[in-house]
């Protein structure tokens, strides 16, 4: 397994300890992660994303989508097993699953839909105005001199 040293990157950044732990967890867990159900993650724009999951055999009542803080959890539990059928080959899996996705700050679920066996979860990043970059005007220092003169008087 390849290891990555992020210390040069973290030397010039503040508050990214969580990201370092996230990378470590992802890289160490990659071999143990289940492949079911298959999914895609698409970037639809600068601040819009879509997660698509292939869920053949699942109905709307069988799927639960939950967002809690920076985590998105998709759970599926197939409705009752059909014991009356005798399969010669069963290639369509309908087993229970739980798939977790780590979400960046300010990413929320806009909507989720199930159509033709595909679960589509639309995500959007909404950064609050208070956290968006703002330009700081520079002054020539005259405001500071006025403040000092008023205190001295």
Q: Is the pLDDT of residue 12 over 60?
A: no
pLDDT tens digits, one per residue of 108-140: 999 999 999 999 999 999 888 887 788 888 887
Q: Is the pLDDT of residue 16 over 90?
A: no
Per-residue pLDDT band at 98 (split at 50, 70, 90): very high
Q: Is the pLDDT of residue 51 over 90?
A: yes
Query: Which residues are CB-contacts of 125 (< 8 A; sequence separation ≥ 6)?
Result: 47, 48, 49, 104, 106, 107
More confident residue, 149 or 90: 90
Most trustworthy range by pLDDT among 34-43, 64-73, 127-136: 64-73
20, 6 contact by CB (below 8 A):
yes
Residue 66, pLDDT score: 95
- What is the phi/psi pair of residue 68, to 5°? -135, 115
Residue 80, pLDDT score: 63
Residue 8, pLDDT score: 66
Q: Angle at the Cα of 99 (from 94 to 92), degrees rounded to 5?
A: 20
């Amino acid at each position: 397994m390849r290891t990555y040293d992020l210390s040069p990157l973290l030397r010039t950044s503040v508050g990214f300890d969580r990201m370092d732990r996230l990378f470590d967890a992802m890289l160490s867990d990659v071999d143990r992660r289940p492949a079911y159900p298959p999914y895609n993650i698409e970037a639809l724009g600068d601040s819009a994303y879509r997660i698509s999951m292939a869920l053949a055999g699942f109905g709307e009542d069988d799927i639960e989508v939950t967002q809690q803080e920076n985590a998105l959890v998709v759970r599926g539990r197939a409705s009752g097993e059909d014991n009356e059928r005798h399969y010669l080959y069963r290639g369509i899996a309908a087993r229970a699953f739980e798939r977790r996705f780590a979400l960046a700050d300010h990413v929320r679920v806009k909507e989720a839909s199930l159509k033709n066996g595909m679960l589509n979860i639309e995500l959007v990043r909404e950064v609050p105005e208070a956290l968006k970059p703002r330009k700081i005007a520079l002054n020539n220092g005259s405001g500071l001199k006025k403040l000092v003169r008023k205190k001295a008087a």
